[in-house]
Amino acid sequence: MQKFLKQTIYCLFVFICGVSSAQTHRFFYELKYKSDSTQNDYLKKLMVLDVNPTETKYYDNAFLEKDSINKKFNSQNTNWTDQIPVIRKKNSNKNTNFVMLQFQVYSYPTEDSISWNLTTETKKYQGFDIQKATTKFGGRKWTAWFTKNILFSEGPYKFRGLPGLIVLLYDDKNQFDFSFVKNQNLDETYDTSNFLEIRYGSKPIPVTEKIYLQKKIEYYNDPLYLIREGLRNGTTKSYDDNGVRYTNANDLIPKIKSEQEYILKHNNPIELNKAIRYSK
């Protein structure tokens, strides 16, 4: 235990000394979440928070892994995530959100000011002194634990504005739970342009949040619209899915209903007040 604390203090010392020279301060969080509010088990992801000189970026670690493979083999294989990546300027509550729908990536801006209530409650976590704070955001009540040992007023997703880095964060429904895992200091600002700002050569389409939510409703109403239209007008001769070939648009109706049921079931976003009330 004493050895662990010494290693932690040493890492903190190295981190603090490197603040002025390192270009990207990278923090990893384990995210446990429920895309279906009724499910018993959590889904798990490793999320990344890059604090750069002029902006902060939050995204799925799967993007880093794919980016590393693409650079190694000079390829452009793609992937995506069910968690919304965001970018914001330094000391700003204005976020750019990146989302995918029907193989197309969209981006839209949001203003996400968070008002915190600081408490005097403290404890230890991984050798850090951490302090408790609470807030209401996105239709949920949140508890955050932050540390003044790392003086970045940042945290996972859109959570920021505390006098130190958020290391623990969870909602009162126990549906989203972030835990700090580790950090890295990179000598240069990490370039995410190939999988965020420009996704493997394709720029996200900028829209408003209202337009994006409307597009989600349109997709729900007919998830296979483009394929069905292609089969109807003859531009698509057939559609293959899991070894089954479809040549008639009407044969896809059961798949449409199945997709709609999936959307209704997995309608538990981190900002619960933005969950769409789909028509059944």
Domain boundaries, the chain: 2-186, 208-274
Distance CA 89, CA 273 (A): 24
Q: Which pLDDT score is estimated for 242? A: 85
What is the rounded distance in angstroms from the CA atom of residue 140 to the CA atom of residue 173?
A: 8
Which positions of the chain have pLDDT values less than 70?
Answer: 1-22
* Dist CA 186 CA 23 (whole Å): 6
**Which tokens go with 47?**
């999320």
pLDDT tens digits, 217-235: 999 999 988 888 889 998 9
Residue 278 is given by DSSP the state: -
Look at residues 85, 80, 83 and name the one whose alpha carbon lies nearest to residue 35. 83
**Topology of 2-186 in CATH?**
outer membrane lipoprotein receptor (LolB), chain A (2.50.20)
- What pLDDT score was predicted for residue 37? 95
pLDDT number for residue 21: 53
What's the half-sphere exposure (Cβ side, CA atoms, 13 Å) at 27?
24
Whether the CA torsion 244, 247, 252, 254 is positive or negative: it is negative
Please, are residues 255 and 224 in contact by the beta-carbon 8 Å criterion? yes
Residue 76's pLDDT is 86
**φ/ψ of residue 68, rounded to 5:** -65, -40
Q: What is the mean pLDDT of the chain?
A: 91
- pTM for this structure? 0.89
For residue 66, give Cα distances in angstroms to 60, 82, 195: 10, 16, 9
